[in-house]
Amino acid sequence: MRPPLPAFDVRAVLQQNHRDVTVTDLPPVLLPRKGPFDLVDYEKAYCPDPAQNIFTLRNLDRDQGCLVVVRPDQYVAHVLPLDAHHELVTFFEGVLLESRAPNTSAQHLTKAEAVEA
């Protein structure tokens, strides 16, 4: 049985030039393992194009950084400071359900699940 897909697709736009960043500098959240072969997805971190300053174009504070919530349809739903944990939780409370651990007791297993267990 495959694990469920994550609820969030985390990506990062770093301030450094791409030649100044190594994969070992990245946190594990930006190097998720995927698929049946447990391969590392290296396409979660991006560096800006030196020809266009994305931080200036989007009026982003390079010292503070930010968190951007982008919907699946590419609509920018929210822009928050990196330390706005409460505001982020409040934003998602209206659309996400609280996670519950699956009940694996035998009385709640289907016939096929019981055979596998």
Looking at the domain assignment, is residue 110 inside a domain? no
Domain that holds residue 58: 12-97
User: Is there a domain that residue 30 lies in?
Assistant: yes
Would you say residue 104 lies in a domain? Answer: no
Residue 113 lies in a domain: no
Distance CA 52, CA 56 (A): 9
Q: What is the residue type of 37? A: F
Q: So what's the pLDDT on residue 108?
A: 47
How far apart, in whole angstroms, are the C-alpha atoms of residue 57 and residue 33? 33
Give the dihedral of Cα atoms 104, 105, 107, 112; nearest 10 deg. Answer: 40
pLDDT tens, 19-47? 899 999 899 999 999 889 999 999 999 99
Q: Is residue 115 part of a domain?
A: no
Residue whose token pair is 């267990």 = 117
Q: What is the pLDDT of residue 2?
A: 57
Q: What are 97-110's pLDDT values in tens digits?
A: 777 766 554 444 44
Number of domains present in the structure of the chain: 1
pLDDT tens digits along 54-73: 888 888 888 888 898 988 88
Q: Is residue 53 predicted with pLDDT exceeding 90?
A: no
CATH number, domain at 30?
3.40.30.20
